[in-house]
Each structure stands twice: as structure tokens, then as C-alpha cells.
């Protein structure tokens, strides 16, 4: 899960992350801890959508307007925290996509758009706990926006489009009811979280949690250094990512792996390669190796197998088997 989130942080274009696992295995805790780990981002000052100052193409209408009038098209810039937005179960659609600002409408009779959660999550993370309990149409909507990177609102007589590029992180418990295959496929990476079977590790978890509950401030201070290490690693990986090359031989193997597993479409291959490149970047490597592909193959592919739905949880093993077939025994 950690690797999957790191990959998504470095290269959001891998698509969302689906986290499956038992309750109480720390899924939410990890996601909610993200803001502290992430490097801050530059954003256009005063922009309600947190537009990226350097990306001219994907600005919101407001920024485009402002840029047209600003000297040399430059807009003031501030530092912001990367947003990690929690989508509460039971949120209604108007709050998610945004809607007519009633307050302004009532007070001034003015037609103004009030951005929703999707706007707040722009360039960050949108976390949905218990994704299988969310209403189907909301999930579809989220996936759709996550994929296009743009939120188009046509309601209440307002017509707005604004960029909304975010990493969708969904968590759920497979026992609670199956997830639709269409939904699974739309997530870039999928990881399964299990409780550690190592007693010492579990004990350490309890100890740290307890230390945190008893004195949060001291705990955070103690771990600050470790946090900044991770931050530095993310930044370095982002910088390196564009220059990471994928040798043809590795590409060949990755495709073979997908063929062996019979994944539908090319989404599997693309995600596999993106994830492998990002992993290489995180590893300070210049080229992608088979090892990187093998490392990310389970999370990139396991939810894309043309499944025998009734074969419970066997997809992880199937990926492992295919890896052995394609790459030879480890």
C-alpha cells in the first residue's frame, strides 16, 4: 500500500489506488497521514481550484481570465498543502461536483458557482472509505472525472468546467459485497492490506499508536525527520521520472506478462509500465528493470484478470504464477 501510494504521488497519471483489506488494518490511517508526508505545491494565489501556475493548458476559466489581464500572463503564486479530501459516505451529488451558490443567489440574486469536493481535491487525493457502500452513480461520476481530469457541471443553470485531476483512493472490504468489475478496472493500482503476521511488528504498531494517543505532539516531532526523508524521496523521484527509460526487452516482457494473464485492453500494460517507471524513479534508477516490473505487477494487474469470479482471492497467486512463467523462477 505504501508503494502504491508513493507511486500515485509521484505520477498521478497511473490512476487511482484501490485498497482492499480487513477492517482495522490501518487503511484510513495511512491515507489520512498523507498530507504530512507530501511536499507542498505551488498554486495560483486565490484560485478556488488550486490551479497549477505552470500548466497553462489546464487552468480553470477564472485563472485563464485573470491571466489574460495580468502582466505577461503571470499570476501570483502561493505554496499550498496538497489536498487530501475525505469523501464522507452520504455526501450528496451537489456537494461533490459543485452547484449554484445558493447563498449568493439568495442574497444578491447572483448566479455564482460554488465549487464542490472535486474542486478541492484538484491536484491531490480524494479518499473514499468503504467504496462499496457509496452509491453507484456517485462512484461512476468520480471515476469519470478522475479519468478525464475535468469536472463538467451543467446544473441549476450554471455551466462550468474546471480541471479536477486527483488520485482517487478507495478502500473497502471485499467480504462486504463484491465490487463491480467495471469499477475495479478503472482503478490503476489495487493492493490488499493484511495484518502483519509478525508478532513483533504488531506489537510495535500497538506501541506507536499508544505513544501517539498519549502525546500526539511529541510523537509527531519524533517522526518528523522520517517524514522529511520520504518527502525528499518523492521530490527526487518526480524530478527523475521523465528521464527514466524503459528498455525494449523489459517492455517486451511486460507485454508478455499481460498476455499470459489475458488482461483485457491495454490499460493493464500502460499502468504496469507507468508504475514500473515510477518505482525505478523512486529507487534512484535510470532504467526500468525486470525487477521493477515484477515488483509492481501484482498491484497493477491483479484486479484486471478476466476473472473466474467465484475463484476467491486467487488473483494474487495467478499473477505470481504468470510472473514465474514469463520471467522464470525467482
Catalytically active residues, by annotation: 267
Regarding 129 and contact with other proteins (CB under 8 A), the answer is yes
- Rounded distance between C-alpha atoms, residue 38 and residue 48, angstroms: 20
**Which listed residue (35, 181, 314, 316) binds other proteins by CB under 8 A?**
181
Regarding 306 and contact with other proteins (CB under 8 A), the answer is no
Regarding 149 and contact with other proteins (CB under 8 A), the answer is no
Please answer whether residues 279 and 7 qualify as being in contact, where contact means their C-beta atoms are separated by less than 8 angstroms: yes
**Which listed residue (136, 224, 229, 264) binds other proteins by CB under 8 A?**
136
Sequence-distant (6+) residues with CB within 8 A of 175 are none
Please answer whether residues 186 and 143 qualify as being in contact, where contact means their C-beta atoms are separated by less than 8 angstroms: yes
**Which listed residue (57, 71, 90, 328) binds other proteins by CB under 8 A?**
90
**Which region, judged by CB under 8 A, interacts with other proteins, from 53-61, 289-297, 309-317, 320-328?**
309-317
Regarding 328 and contact with other proteins (CB under 8 A), the answer is no
Regarding 309 and contact with other proteins (CB under 8 A), the answer is yes
- Rounded distance between C-alpha atoms, residue 94 and residue 141, angstroms: 12
Cβ-in-10-Å burial (0-12, 13-18, 19+) of 250 comes to buried
Q: Where are the alpha helices (DSSP H) in the chain?
A: 2-10, 27-37, 61-69, 93-97, 102-108, 117-120, 136-148, 181-186, 199-214, 216-240, 248-261, 267-282, 290-301, 315-327
**Which region, judged by CB under 8 A, interacts with other proteins, from 37-45, 61-69, 153-161, 216-224?**
153-161
- The residue ranges that bind other proteins (CB under 8 A) are 22-26, 28, 86-92, 94-96, 99-100, 102-103, 105-109, 111, 117, 129-130, 133, 135-137, 155-157, 173, 175-178, 180-181, 194-195, 197-200, 202-203, 205-207, 209-210, 213-214, 308-310, 312
Amino acid at each position: 500500500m505504501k508503494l502504491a501510494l508513493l507511486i500515485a504521488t509521484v505520477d498521478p497519471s497511473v490512476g487511482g489506488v484501490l485498497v482492499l483489506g480487513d477492517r482495522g488494518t490501518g487503511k484510513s490511517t495511512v491515507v489520512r497521514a498523507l498530507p504530512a508526508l507530501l511536499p507542498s505545491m505551488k498554486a495560483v494565489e486565490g484560485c478556488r481550484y488550486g490551479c497549477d501556475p505552470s500548466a497553462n493548458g489546464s487552468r480553470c476559466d477564472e485563472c485563464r481570465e485573470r491571466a489574460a489581464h495580468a502582466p505577461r500572463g503571470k499570476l501570483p503564486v502561493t505554496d499550498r498543502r496538497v489536498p487530501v479530501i475525505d469523501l464522507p459516505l452520504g455526501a450528496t451529488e451537489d456537494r461533490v461536483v459543485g452547484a449554484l451558490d445558493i447563498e449568493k443567489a439568495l442574497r444578491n440574486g447572483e448566479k455564482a458557482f460554488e465549487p464542490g469536493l472535486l474542486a478541492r481535491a484538484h491536484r491531490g487525493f480524494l479518499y473514499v472509505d468503504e467504496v462499496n457502500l457509496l452509491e453507484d452513480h456517485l462512484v461512476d461520476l468520480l471515476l469519470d472525472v478522475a479519468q478525464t481530469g475535468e469536472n463538467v457541471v451543467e446544473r441549476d443553470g450554471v455551466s462550468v468546467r474546471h480541471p479536477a485531476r486527483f488520485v482517487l483512493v478507495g478502500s473497502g472490504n471485499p467480504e462486504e459485497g463484491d465490487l463491480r468489475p467495471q469499477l475495479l478496472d478503472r482503478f490503476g493500482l489495487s493492493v490488499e492490506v493484511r495484518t502483519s503476521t509478525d508478532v513483533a511488528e504488531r506489537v510495535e504498531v500497538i506501541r506507536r499508536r499508544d505513544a501517539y494517543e498519549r502525546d500526539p505532539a511529541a510523537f509527531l516531532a519524533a517522526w518528523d525527520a522520517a517524514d522529511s526523508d520520504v518527502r525528499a524521496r518523492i521530490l527526487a523521484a518526480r524530478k527523475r521520472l521523465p528521464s527514466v527509460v524503459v528498455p525494449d526487452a523489459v517492455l517486451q516482457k511486460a507485454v508478455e506478462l499481460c498476455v499470459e494473464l489475458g488482461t483485457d485492453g491495454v490499460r493493464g500494460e500502460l499502468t504496469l509500465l507507468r508504475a514500473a517507471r515510477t518505482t525505478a524513479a523512486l529507487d534512484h534508477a535510470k532504467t526500468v528493470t525486470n525487477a521493477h516490473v515484477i515488483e509492481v505487477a501484482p498491484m497493477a494487474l491483479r484486479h484486471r484478470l478476466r476473472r473466474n469470479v467465484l475463484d476467491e482471492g486467487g488473483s494474487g497467486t495467478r499473477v505470481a504464477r504468470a510472473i514465474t512463467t514469463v520471467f522464470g523462477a525467482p
